[in-house]
């Protein structure tokens, strides 16, 4: 399991426990629509890095994990474009239901291990990719407000 997946699962678990009474108070059979997971990351530009390398690593992960995960309805990686903090990056996933949140993350882990078959190759990828981040991040899970759609 890579570092981001472990962090994501930890935060997700804490959110789940914190909101358990709300979740159980709702009818589990009720269609609550998709869940949108947003991770906000703070980027760093290491001396031995380049945007070309970051884009290449991000594309590798997207091709080998994200595009192969059939539980993901959509996925976007967004970089801050305008304003005072151009180091902010958002990773946005959409899954069909609340129940798919953990399953999709577990599938990402499986696909990551399939793409980078050895522990050494996974560590090397994570080291190369993670140098582009400060470690500051937040995770949120959202639901659609149906009255706010176009």
Q: What angle do CA 37, 41, 47 make, to 5 degrees?
A: 150
Tokens of 133: 């981040």
For 146: left if phi > 0, alpha if psi spans -120 to 50, otherwise beta; the answer is: alpha
pLDDT at 104: 97
1 pLDDT more than 80: no
Tens of pLDDT, residue by residue over 8-42, are 554 445 445 445 444 444 444 346 789 999 999 99
Domain CATH for 137: 3.30.70.100
Count of domains for the chain:
1
Determine, yes or no, domain membership for 46.
yes
Determine, yes or no, domain membership for 23.
no
Tokens of 23: 């979740």
Tens of pLDDT, residue by residue over 47-88, are 999 999 999 999 999 999 999 999 999 999 999 888 777 889
Tens of pLDDT, residue by residue over 83-126, are 777 889 999 999 999 999 999 999 999 999 999 999 999 999 99
For 55, the domain range is: 3-18+37-144
Determine, yes or no, domain membership for 58.
yes
Alpha-carbon dihedral sign for residues 17, 133, 91, 64: negative
Determine, yes or no, domain membership for 94.
yes
pLDDT at 31: 61
């Amino acid at each position: 399991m890579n570092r981001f997946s472990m962090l994501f699962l930890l935060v997700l678990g804490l959110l789940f426990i914190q909101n358990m009474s709300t979740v159980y108070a709702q009818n589990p059979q009720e269609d609550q629509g998709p869940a949108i997971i947003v991770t906000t990351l703070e980027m760093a530009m290491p001396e031995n890095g380049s945007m070309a390398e970051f884009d290449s690593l991000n594309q590798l992960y997207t091709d080998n994990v994200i595009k192969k995960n059939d539980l993901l309805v959509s996925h976007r990686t967004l970089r801050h474009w305008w304003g005072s903090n151009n180091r902010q990056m958002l990773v946005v996933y959409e899954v069909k239901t609340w129940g798919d949140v953990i399953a999709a993350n577990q599938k990402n882990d499986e696909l990551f291990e399939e793409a980078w078959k050895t522990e050494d190759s996974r560590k090397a990828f994570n080291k190369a990719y993670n140098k582009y981040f400060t470690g500051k991040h937040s995770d949120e899970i959202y639901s659609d407000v149906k009255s706010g759609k176009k």
